[in-house]
Chain A
Amino acid sequence: MGDDAQGRPLGVVVGGSLTQGVEVRLDSGASVEDLKVGTFVTIQGARHRFMGVVTDIALDSADPRIKHTPPPAGNSFIAQVVSGTVAYGAITVSPHVTLPAALGDDDPPLAAKTIPSHFSRAYTASQRDVEVVFGKEDERHFWIGNPLDMETKVCLDMDELVKRSIGVFGKTGTGKTFLTRLLLVGILQRGRASSIIFDMHSEYGWSGQDTDRSRQVKGLKQLFPAQVSTFTLDEASSRRRGSQVDEVLRIGYQEVEPEDVQMLRETLNLSEVAASAAFNLEREFGQGKWLLGFLALQDRAAVHDLAEKVQVNPQALLSLYNRLDGLRRYGFLVEQAGPDAAAQIIQHAEKGRHVVLEFGRYGNDPTAYVLVSNLLSRRIHQRYVALKEEAEGGGGREPRPLVLVIEEAHKFLSPAIASQTIFGTIARELRKYNVTLMVIDQRPSGIDPEVLSQLGTRLTCQLENERDIDAVLAGAPGGRQLRSVLSRLESRQQALLFGHALPMPVVVRTREYGSDQSYTQLGRRLGVGARRPGLPGGTEIETAEARLEREIKDLF
């Protein structure tokens, strides 16, 4: 594809609609075989230049008899004459944005609210067109990948990205983790938000696995040592993997609240009665003391007595006791933790650092993952609500935007529990309190549709299950057309991106992560904007060098 201002001519608009897409009849020189679903197309209308993607490709004819009397096989002349005239290719293009009338104008592309008029000419989009739409890499735009068959970069608007929750989907092994790593680097480079990553498989902090190339790839801490704090729940595992951790996280029994038990219903296989008995226990033993008090009971008889006292079904209470007793095997749960675990993490986040919490061996234990992520997130959210309200009351600065990253999100956000959990709350209240989610999941159909509908930007790698595809595309404009695009993704390192951070949906080959060159490019800090005065929460942990430089500047 050329990099001249106008791409290769394709044909003319002969019909269509905004909802179904515009029909373009191909010129005899343009072959259907050169076009793909997802190819970018520009259409020069009378007043606007449109850009869209090919959503369907068809063979059509002016005379239906062509099906019954195709040109004689031996006569290539007749075949050549007939193709493109009587028999022709046609494509359907859904126009997504209108481009500035003159190339080089700075006006941003706008969502297309109309379609080009009859007989407008269609062209393949040039590199320039794609660049105009998907932006250049700059302090606001992060290069996430390249459109298929093009050199041009597709960039995400990072400001828009962190304003709302983000979803990263794809079946196993398709590149979710690699894509997420890139998103996190983007957030980090731009310095507009902090993130807290509940790193189930310990692959974001120090290093991760590239299974295809059987090599290790660097985690965030190696790329941005000064901006990333790593916490671990499993010190032994972190040490074995040579991971540099800043803090070992301990959670006190007193920090576990009855709400956390609600979340564990599924993983612990608890009945509703048993799970809600925790509230009775809290009333009995007092806040922060109930779990220790409960687990201190010595035998069945003691549990039975307590059941009577707090008026809970004894069987239910007994099963709760048995399941919670299992928590004792978690080395990170201690009777006397130091300062409150959530507070430690918040402290780092507030300083503008990005926190990775490695789960080590507990990552394989869904109960541990759900318990810890939920418990910490609830505290963090409470703190943010307080900070935000303080700021609104004029008593303090706005808390820095925060992105909470969770894997296997359906465990927290299934329709049954989404309404009760903190993650459901965060997803629904949007960024009222400057906290948003990044959910990573291979089974999006397991997530509450209401939560999915709140995701501002969705990035999805290949999905095979029909229900998962439906779930991801639900509510997306042009979902039907995107479906055909999504179902044709390759099984690795390709993703369909759509939502607020992009002017229009696009399929990309995800930017390469893991080569030395990629580290050099990614390790660069671009977030000039982070230090722009007046930006909320724009505090940065200043390196000694930077401070010196600034002080020298201030002097003169």
Chain B
Amino acid sequence: MARVGEVTQTASTGFTVQCYKLYAAPALGALVRAGGTPASGDSGIGGLAAGSSPNPLIPAGHGQQQGFTGTVVYGVVCRVSTEPLDPGRPVLARGESAATEEELYRSNPQLERLLTSRFEVLIIGHQDAEGSRPFLPPLPPRVHSFVYGCNPEEVAQCTARLDFLHLLLGPGLIAADEVVGACLRGAAQAHSDPDQFLLRAGRALAGELAQDLPRLNAILHRVAPW
């Protein structure tokens, strides 16, 4: 899948990504991958060469899963934002004379340089030499790690086990219920039987939230397929 940006800030539980293109962030709840070096030539923006810098975390020779070497970190997009690049230069309204928003952007090509899209990712698991693991990696991805969107196979594989819900439901995440809902709705499409997946996921949620019925209901309303 396409490379969407680079890690600009990183911590154990999550990282922030700056997009290469304005408004090119993945959807809320989407699954992304960071780190790991593609073992063979991978299409990247600007055709960046593969295998140029081995991940220092991983001893050489480790990790041949899915064509990557090194630790691959998976996460869920939990907040998308677009802001001025320079916080000192606030954005001004400038479209009074423009007929449409498109026209406004067309007539102000500098906006592409003054604004930037960022998204925050909550880490839900990683993949190392031993296989995929539904918990946090020992270290988060490095700053400047490349971040890619996940293709349906990866999504299906990463969400096959529903342990990640526990991480998503943890404290600290703003609008966590929306993220969970969006994530499950999206992931369902990657599974061969989406309804069955949602039922399974619903039950896993019920296990997590057995003591908090109102919250469970709120999330289930967001994923109910029928």
Contacts and interface: CB of A to CB of B under 8 A. Distances in A.
Contacts of A65: 213-214
Given A28-B203, A84-B203, A78 B224 contact: yes
Contacts of B199: 77, 80-81
Nearest to B223: A77
A63 interface: yes
Nearest to B205: A81
A84 to B, nearest CB: 7
A168 B13 CA distance: 71
Given A77-B202, A81-B199, A81-B205, A62 B224 contact: no
B214 A77 contact: no
A77 B198 CA distance: 9
Give the one of A62, A69, A75, A77 with max B CB within 10 A: A77
Contacts of B203: 28, 81, 84-85
Given A77-B226, A81-B202, A66 B213 contact: yes
Interface residues of B, number: 20
Interface string B187-226: 0000000000011001101110111111011001100111
Nearest to B211: A63
Interface residues of A, number: 17
Interface in A35-86: 62-63, 65-66, 69, 71, 75-78, 80-82, 84-86
Given A69-B213, A77-B198, 12 more contacts: A28-B203, A63-B210, A66-B213, A69-B217, A77-B202, A77-B220, A78-B202, A78-B221, A78-B224, A80-B202, A81-B205, A84-B203
Contact of B216 (A80, A84, A86): A86
Give the one of A69, A71, A78 with max B CB within 10 A: A78
Interface of B: 198-199, 202-203, 205-207, 209-214, 216-217, 220-221, 224-226
A75 B217 CA distance: 11
Nearest to A69: B213
B213 A76 contact: no
Contacts of A82: 206, 216, 220
A544 B216 CA distance: 82
Contacts of A81: 199, 202-203, 205-206, 220
B9 to A, nearest CB: 36
B214 to A, nearest CB: 7
Give the one of B203, B206, B207, B217 with max A CB within 10 A: B206
B44 to A, nearest CB: 40
The 4 closest A-B CB pairs, nearest first, are A81-B202, A85-B206, A62-B210, A77-B224
B198 to A, nearest CB: 7
A82 B221 CA distance: 12
A77 B225 contact: yes
A86 B225 contact: no
Contacts of A75: 220-221, 224
29 contacts: A28-B203, A62-B211, A63-B211, A63-B212, A63-B213, A65-B214, A69-B214, A69-B217, A75-B221, A75-B224, A76-B226, A77-B199, A77-B224, A77-B225, A77-B226, A78-B221, A80-B199, A81-B199, A81-B202, A82-B206, A82-B216, A84-B203, A85-B203, A85-B207, A85-B210, A86-B209, A86-B210, A86-B213, A86-B216
Contact of B217 (A62, A78, A80, A84): A78
Contacts of B225: 77
B194 to A, nearest CB: 12
B210 to A, nearest CB: 4
A66 B217 CA distance: 11
B185 to A, nearest CB: 12
Contacts of A86: 206, 209-210, 213, 216
B150 to A, nearest CB: 26
Contacts of A28: 203
Nearest to A68: B213
Contacts of B226: 76-77
A63 B213 CA distance: 7
A278 B3 CA distance: 114
A426 B202 CA distance: 66
A80 B200 CA distance: 10
A183 B202 CA distance: 55
A6 to B, nearest CB: 24
Contacts of A71: 217
Interface in A328-373: none
Nearest to A85: B206
Nearest to A84: B203
B210 A78 contact: no
Contacts of B220: 75, 77-78, 81-82
B183 to A, nearest CB: 16
Contacts of B214: 65, 69
A25 to B, nearest CB: 12
Contacts of B207: 85
A257 to B, nearest CB: 75
Interface string A13-39: 000000000000000100000000000
A66 B212 CA distance: 10
Contacts of A84: 203
A281 to B, nearest CB: 82
Contacts of B209: 86
A65 B211 CA distance: 9
A66 B216 CA distance: 11
A63 to B, nearest CB: 5
Contacts of A69: 213-214, 217
B109 to A, nearest CB: 47
B207 to A, nearest CB: 6
Interface in A228-257: none
